[in-house]
């Protein structure tokens, strides 16, 4: 979502910013700041994740003004640095993207709720359920925690973004279905594969970088 400022009312923009402020305050309180300050690797990973998301989101194809088709990459980022930092750095990436495009600051709050929050929440939930209920198998981690979570997160973000566009009165639902949601099936599997390739490389080459992955647990079982 990158809604131009003129397409959203002041009241709606204010509500989006207030709700975003509450969310960021909660994440700030829950973030592992002590562990972050004590590890330069975690700091570099957090900064690198923000740069990765910004570059990834710069490449897009517009389905409708304000709604683009692009990779999200949030499943990989969430699994690497954790949901709290993932939400903070992705919000910063959304702000920088709005600045680069010189538009869309009014709807940044709703953009985060529609594009960022659903993949992070679903990835965190799937990862926790898989670690609790499934055997510690490396291929299960890749196909469930990464591949399956990326698919669900992508679908949820697309539906949430379209739903917010409809609720804000920017587009009617039939237009969203025909011009945006109808194009999503061609991107679901590529999204999952992109996240899968990133996580495959990291877990094999630098498993200590991935906060959700314990190589002693997965490779010794």
Tens-place pLDDT, residues 36-91: 899 899 999 999 999 999 999 988 777 777 788 889 999 999 999 999 999 999 99
Task: Kindly indicate the confidence band of residue 153, based on its pLDDT and cuts at 50, 70 and 90.
Answer: very high
Cα–Cα distance measured from residue 161 to residue 137, given in angstroms and rounded to the nearest whole number: 34
Report whether pLDDT(23) > 70: yes
Report whether pLDDT(221) > 90: no
Instruction: Count other C-beta atoms under 10 Å from residue 51's C-beta.
Output: 12
Q: Do residues 47 and 85 touch, judged by C-beta distance below 8 A? A: no
Q: Do residues 179 and 64 touch, judged by C-beta distance below 8 A? A: yes
Q: Do residues 146 and 195 touch, judged by C-beta distance below 8 A? A: yes
Q: Which two tokens stand for residue 129?
A: 């359920």
Q: Specify the residue for token string 């009241």.
A: 11
* Domain CATH for 47: 1.10.1760.20
Tens-place pLDDT, residues 97-123: 888 875 678 888 898 999 999 999 999
Domain that holds residue 29: 5-219
Which residues pair with residue 61 across a beta bridge? 69
Work out how many domains the chain is built from and give that number: 1
């Amino acid at each position: 979502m990158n809604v131009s400022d003129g397409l959203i009312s002041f009241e709606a923009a204010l509500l989006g910013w207030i709700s975003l402020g509450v969310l960021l305050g909660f994440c700030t309180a829950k973030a592992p700041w002590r562990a972050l300050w004590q590890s330069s690797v975690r700091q570099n990973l957090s900064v690198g994740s923000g740069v990765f998301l910004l570059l990834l989101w710069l490449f897009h194809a517009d389905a409708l003004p304000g709604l683009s088709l692009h990779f999200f990459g949030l499943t990989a980022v969430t699994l690497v640095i954790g949901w709290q930092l993932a939400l903070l750095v992705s919000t910063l990436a959304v702000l920088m993207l709005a600045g680069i495009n010189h538009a869309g600051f009014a709807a940044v709050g709703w953009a985060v709720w529609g594009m960022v929050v659903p993949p992070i929440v679903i990835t965190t939930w799937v990862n926790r359920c898989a670690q609790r209920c499934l055997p510690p198998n490396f291929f299960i981690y890749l196909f469930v925690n990464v591949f399956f979570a990326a698919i669900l997160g992508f679908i949820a973000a697309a539906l949430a973004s379209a739903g917010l566009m409809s609720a804000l009165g920017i587009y009617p639902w039939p237009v969203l279905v025909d011009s945006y949601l109808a194009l999503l099936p061609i991107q679901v599997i590529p999204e999952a594969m992109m996240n899968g390739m990133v996580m495959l490389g990291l877990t094999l080459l630098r498993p200590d970088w991935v906060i959700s992955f314990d190589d002693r647990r997965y490779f010794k079982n």
